[in-house]
Amino acid sequence: MTTELIPGDPAPEEPDGQDSTSEDLVVDDFARIGPYRVVQQLGEGGMGVVHLALDQRGRAVAVKVLRPHVAHDEDARARLAREVATLARVRSPRVAPVFDADLDGDQPYIVTRYVPGPSLDAHVKEHGTLSAEELLRLGRGLAEALRSLHEIGVVHRDLKPGNVLLVDGDPVLIDFGIAHDADASRMTMTGLVMGTPGYLSPEIIEGAEVDAATDWWGWAATLVFAASGHPPFGRGGMEAVLSRVTRGDVDLTGVDPRLAPLLYAALTPDTARRPHADEVLEALETYAKGHPVTEALPQRARAMPGSEPTSVVPAAPQTSVLPAVAPAPAPRPEPAPSVAPRPTPQPPAHQPYSPQAYASQQLAPQPAPHQLDPSPQAWPGTTPSSREGDPRIGLPRRTGVLLGLLAAVVGGAAVAPLLTAVVVLVGSALARLVDRSMTSTVMRRYQHGRRRSDGAVAAAKSPLHLVVAVVGALAAMLLPLAVGASTLLLVSVAFSLLAVDVGPDHPAGLALAGLMTALVVWWGPGSASLRRGTRSIARSLTGSPAARTGITLALWALGVVLLGLALSAGFPSTWWPLVESPLPDTTWLPAR
């Protein structure tokens, strides 16, 4: 690609709050990009900059240009090529189409339809939350866009307010840089954070396969943002946000109380309790008409934790009550999406978006640096098999290995409870360190692309990650230890009532306390990082089937042997490194 400067053209003014000197790309650098004349900068990110430009006939287009520091990065170019291939296949007025692209030049770019409207987050910031009718139009329009993608096997994977533009109240979906093709190899290091925390479903955070459920979850979360004016799972560190997602701790402050149960149900971690996409749309239509929303919801989606039962106000004679929605169809063998589309989409009640309204922007054939092929293509010089694999998303979760690890922990708790607790604490800190290090690297590459300094930066941040991991592990152990102590107490009371003359440190009680402690460590507050890191370690140690089978059998054998030794006569539990048991005697317990 040849960059041509137009002498005498005035440089566009810098948008408020943006620094045009950021890193290595400014608007002045490219008064002309290929055959397109730059008018002004529309937005920027770590990977590229989007400009408003005019084609040779004076029609407005949007030109996305990779930043120079990532322009020669193979992964960045592959992502751009994938975006072009994806957009070339989509036929929907709710998705900005691609017109042109240059993927081979020194400064790769793609050209899409210019959407003359603000992003959803900018609109909400300036005008406040959406009204009931606007929320319904948003939900319908985005559902139409998602269905057009899913019909061709594409998952957007980053549906959020910043990627939704509004044109006269109707949404247009943009930014397909990390879209996932079900038939293509993954090209991101980890899908977990190749997306926006707070708009990723709990299943994806836990390592499930990327599918349509990812988009429907982001759809529901985007609706919550539009109705409340703030992110559904709050702000702060990524780990805190992801933890709220997995717990279902959605912030519905500012949402109309009549609508809150619907949106809460759409974002519950329990997939069986989530309403269908069309059920949500039907309820939104009911809400827009001023009718009680709960009458349009299935029973499973009506209750919120801690909420009072909803009383249905009798309808006025002239008001017709909507019929109850039929139960969702029986689950299919494949995982159900977060909010799944029905085969027959709901017909929109408002005037649909017309592609003729932007017919004047369709570019006539012109000498293009790169002719688009509607089928996905691999980046020149690479093959799908050479792409870096995804270490967490969609890979085996190593459940058998983890169950073996649980058995070893239970056996260890029966034999040496204090030493086992220390080992669990160290393992928890190590897993959190692995997770934080991997996530930090991926986030940095997502924002700035792959760089030679990645290794040095990761090493420099390791001490900080270690401190945070240790503190997190210590804090997360408080509740599990309390649960374990309570279990020991209950077992001691049970033995006393049964007139069984054993002490509080009987191996059976210690094993049960160890089991309860381990379960709370794994599923308790702040455990998402632990689970991700543990699975990453397990996958790295059990790469081959033989290693996986051997380690799994060894862990199970260790647990069974330790528990058997502890329960056998003459093999008391040890509290090493302590000299004797720290537990009190049980003489004060009631006897039968």
Which of 567 and 499 is assigned the larger pLDDT? Answer: 567
Non-local (6+) Cβ contacts of 414 within 8 A are 507, 508, 510, 511, 514, 562, 563, 566, 567, 573
pLDDT at 315 > cutoff 90: no
Cβ–Cβ under 8 Å, residues 234 and 244: yes
Q: Is 228 contained in some domain?
A: yes
Domain interval for residue 167 = 120-310
Beta-strand pair 170-173/32-33: unpaired
The verdict on 70 and 108 lying in the same domain is yes
H helix or E strand, kind and range, residue 172: strand 170-173
Report the C-alpha gap between 386 and 461 in whole angstroms. 29
DSSP state of 6: -
Q: Tell me, what DSSP letter sits at residue 271? A: G
Asked if the structure places residue 436 within a domain, the reply is: yes
- State whether 544 and 401 are in the same domain: yes
584 DSSP assignment:
P
Pair of tokens at residue 420:
């086992």
Higher-pLDDT residue of 234, 319 = 234
Could you tell me if residue 242 is inside a domain?
Answer: yes
The neighbour count for residue 133, using CB atoms within 10 Å, is 16
> Is 95 inside any structural domain?
yes
Whole-number pLDDT of residue 499: 64
Among 141, 126, 208, smallest CA distance to 173 is for 141
Which residues, 6 or more positions from 152, have their beta carbon under 8 angstroms from its beta carbon?
A: 89, 90
pLDDT in tens, 56-88: 898 999 998 888 777 777 777 787 787 788 778
Residue 224 shares a structural domain with residue 141: yes
Structure tokens belonging to residue 90:
């989509």
Q: How many CB atoms lie within 10 A of CB 413?
A: 31
Indicate the number of domains in the chain.
3
Phi and psi at 61, nearest 5°, equal -140, 165
Q: Is residue 64 part of a domain?
A: yes
Rounded Cα gap, residues 336 and 333, in angstroms: 8
Same domain, 58 and 75: yes
Q: Distance between CA 175 and CA 47 in Å, rounded? A: 12
Q: What is the pLDDT of residue 591?
A: 55
Q: Which of 65, 98, 114 is the last residue of a domain?
A: 114
Nearest to 223 by CA among 263, 279, 194, 250: 263
Instruction: Report the CATH number at residue 150.
Output: 1.10.510.10
DSSP 202-259: HHHHTTPPP-HHHHHHHHHHHHHHHHHSS-TT-SS-HHHHHHHHHHT----TTS-TTT
Distance CA 49, CA 28 (A): 12
Instruction: Please give the pLDDT value at position 366.
Output: 38
pLDDT the model gives residue 382: 34
Question: DSSP string spanning 322-384?
Answer: PPPPPPPPPPPSSPPPTTPPPSSPPPPSSPPPPGGGGGGGSPPP---SB---SS--PPTT--G
Find the range with the poorest average confidence among 119-133, 190-204, 217-231, 542-556. Answer: 190-204
pLDDT above 90 covers a percentage of the chain that reads 32
Residue 292 or 485, more confident: 485
List own/partner pairs for 248-251 with CB under 8 A and 24 or more apart.
248/202, 250/224
* Tokens describing residue 392: 């967490």
Q: How many CB atoms lie within 10 A of CB 450?
A: 16
Which range is most confident: 184-198, 369-383, 428-442?
428-442
234 with 189, same domain: the answer is yes
The torsion of the CA quartet 226, 230, 233, 239, rounded to 10 degrees, works out to 130
The reply to whether 538 and 436 lie within a common domain is yes
> Do 65 and 150 fall within a single domain?
no
Closest CA to 284 of 121, 94, 140: 140
**Neighbouring C-alpha atoms within 13 Å toward the C-beta of 502:** 21
**pLDDT at 160 exceeding the cut of 70:** yes
Residues 39 and 131 in one domain: no
The reply to whether 162 and 292 lie within a common domain is yes
Q: Is 19 a catalytic residue?
A: no
125 labeled part of a ligand binding site:
no
pLDDT tens, position by position, 255-289: 999 999 989 999 988 888 888 889 999 999 999 99
Per-residue pLDDT for 23 more than 50?
Answer: no
Nearest Cα to Cα of residue 100 among 90, 110, 88: 110
- Over range 415-434, report the average pLDDT: 94
Peptide bond preceding 577 in cis form (omega within 30 of 0): yes
Mean pLDDT to the nearest integer, 498-507: 72
Residue 103 has a pLDDT of 85
Q: Residue 13's pLDDT band (boundaries 50, 70, 90)?
A: very low
Which of the listed ranges 41-45, 123-127, 452-456 does the model predict with the highest average pLDDT? Answer: 123-127
Query: Which pLDDT belongs to residue 494?
Result: 82
35: domain CATH number? 3.30.200.20
DSSP conformational letter for 294: G
Which residue type does 263 have?
Answer: L
The last residue of a domain, from among 79, 114, 149: 114
Please name the residues in contact with 260: beta carbons below 8 A apart, sequence gap of 6 or more: 252, 304
Structure tokens, 13? 């003014």
Q: What is the pLDDT of residues 195-242, one digit of tens each?
A: 567 888 888 777 777 788 888 989 999 999 999 999 999 988 777 888
Query: Is residue 347 in a domain?
Result: no
563, 411 in Cβ contact below 8 A?
A: yes
**Cα 33 from Cα 1, distance rounded (Å):** 8
pLDDT value for 456: 86
Note the pTM of the prediction, 2 decimals: 0.55
253: which 2 tokens? Answer: 């402050």
Average confidence (pLDDT) over 12-34: 47
- In terms of domains, do 144 and 100 share one? no
Residue tagged 């290595």 (tokens): 24
What are the pLDDT digits (tens) for 385-397? 333 333 445 567 7
Considering only CA atoms, which of 185, 164, 161, 188 is closest in space to residue 177? 188
Q: Report if residue 20 sits inside a domain.
A: yes
Please give the pLDDT value at position 501: 63
pLDDT (tens digit, 9 = 90+) per residue, 84-114? 887 788 888 999 888 898 888 888 898 988 9
* pLDDT over 70 (residue 175): yes
Question: Tokens at residue 30, please?
Answer: 């490219």
Q: Are residues 68 and 126 in the same domain?
A: no
> Could you give the CA distance from residue 124 to residue 283 in angstroms, rounded to a whole number?
22
| 519 pLDDT tier (thresholds 50, 70, 90) | very high
Say if residue 571's pLDDT is above 50.
yes
pLDDT band for position 589 (50/70/90)? low
Q: What was the pLDDT predicted at 174?
A: 86
pLDDT digits (tens, 9 = 90+) for 433-482: 998 888 887 776 655 666 777 788 888 888 999 999 999 999 999 999 99
Stretch among 133-137, 166-170, 398-402, 500-504 having the lowest mean pLDDT:
500-504
From the candidates 75, 158, 170, 215, give the one annotated as an active-site residue: 158
DSSP string, 300-321: GGS--TTPPPPPPPPPPTTPPP
Residue 498 has pLDDT above 50, yes or no: yes
Looking at 254, 286, 310, the residue that finishes a domain is 310
In which band, very low, low, confident or very high, does the pLDDT at 586 lie, cut at 50, 70 and 90? low
pLDDT of 307: 40
Lowest model confidence (mean pLDDT) among 104-113, 216-225, 308-317, 577-586? 308-317
Least confident of 372-376, 378-382, 524-528: 378-382
b/e string for 464-498 if b means 16 or more Cβ within 10 A? ebbebbbebbeebbeebeebbeebbbebbeebbee
Mean pLDDT of all residues in the chain?
75
Q: 551 is written with which tokens?
A: 């380690």
Give CA–CA dist 293/223, Å, rounded.
Answer: 15
Statement to judge: residues 55 and 103 lie in one domain: yes
User: What is the residue type of 384?
Assistant: P
Residue 387 within a domain: no
